[in-house]
Amino acid sequence: MTNEIIKFNHVNKKFGKNEIIEDLTFSINKGEFVTVLGSSGSGKTTTLKMINGLEKPTSGEIIVDNCNLKEANLVELRRHIGYVVQSIGLFPHMTIAQNIAVTPKLLGWNQNKINLKVKDLLKIVGLTDPSYVNRYPGQLSGGQQQRVGVARALSTNPPLMLFDEPFSALDAIIRQDLQQEIKNLHHKLSNKTFFFVTHDINEALYLGDKVMVMNHGKIEQFDTPNEIVNHPKSAYVERLIGTVRENQNLWENLK
């Protein structure tokens, strides 16, 4: 049994004549926290969406949790992959408890099991006040809504969690708090694999066990944060690291 949970073999993706992904080959092991860094148009979100079948490759092979996506029941697959997006996507007419329970209900869980799961998940994401259960999304702050989004994604205890720039719409202080919480969450749930897309280099380096740097549909470097910072393997990665050093110099000059 392989330890790989995601494997791309020579994956190409085109939208019409526009080639987004040229030839993507990589693998991710179970339990890793991988951040995917790149500017708009780099192919990072398209790569994420191909993992749960929201986008299909033009050519090549994708294996997720030992399942070839060409042969997979994609609806069933998605029920066992957590998915957290920037827009959160909570149903405004449903309570927080009902939002978290969407997939468990589809899977036929009994109400008692659902209630226990909702309570446990809200505790995990730091929403411990019992009143959250009966609140509606509109009664929560953006940061609180995003925590509910993470709880909902965890509802079926999936082995794989996908995050598509989940914190980019939040202010700096809330974003920093949630970064710390998501890092702590991964430590608590060490058997789960996190695949986290971001355009923020500091976020990518802080969160990831490994960082995948993408540019124009190619992987420039896929390595530990330490290696990315100290041994950039392309001019593009070197420029990215240069922006971090420029920010550090800015703060030094303001002292």
**pLDDT per position as a tens digit, 50-59:** 999 999 999 9
pTM: 0.89
What pLDDT does residue 245 have? 75
Which pLDDT score is estimated for 254?
61
DSSP string covering the chain: --SEEEEEEEEEEEETTEEEEEEEEEEEETT-EEEEE--TTSSHHHHHHHHTTSS--SEEEEEETTEETTTS-HHHHHTTEEEEETT----TTS-HHHHHTHHHHHTT--HHHHHHHHHHHHHHTT---GGGGG--GGGS-HHHHHHHHHHHHTTT--SEEEEESTTTTS-HHHHHHHHHHHHHHHHHTTTSEEEEEES-HHHHHHH-SEEEEEETTEEEEEE-HHHHHHS--SHHHHHHHHHHHHHHHHHHHH-
Q: Quickly state the pLDDT bin for 168 (edges 50, 70, 90).
A: confident
Q: Please report how many Cα atoms fall inside a 13 Å half-sphere around the Cα of residue 5, on the Cβ side.
A: 21
List pLDDT tens digits, range 208-231.
Answer: 999 999 999 999 999 999 999 999
> In the predicted model, what is the mean pLDDT of residues 99-111?
91
Instruction: State the chain's mean pLDDT as an integer.
Output: 90
pLDDT of 125 above 70: yes
Alpha-carbon distance of 71 to 108, in angstroms, equals 25
**Mean predicted confidence (pLDDT) in 128-150:** 90
pLDDT at position 238, please?
A: 93
> Which of 13, 7, 6, 8 minimizes the C-alpha distance to 59?
13
CATH superfamily of 1-80+163-169+199-255: P-loop containing nucleotide triphosphate hydrolases (3.40.50.300)
- CA dist., res. 26 & res. 46, Å (int): 15
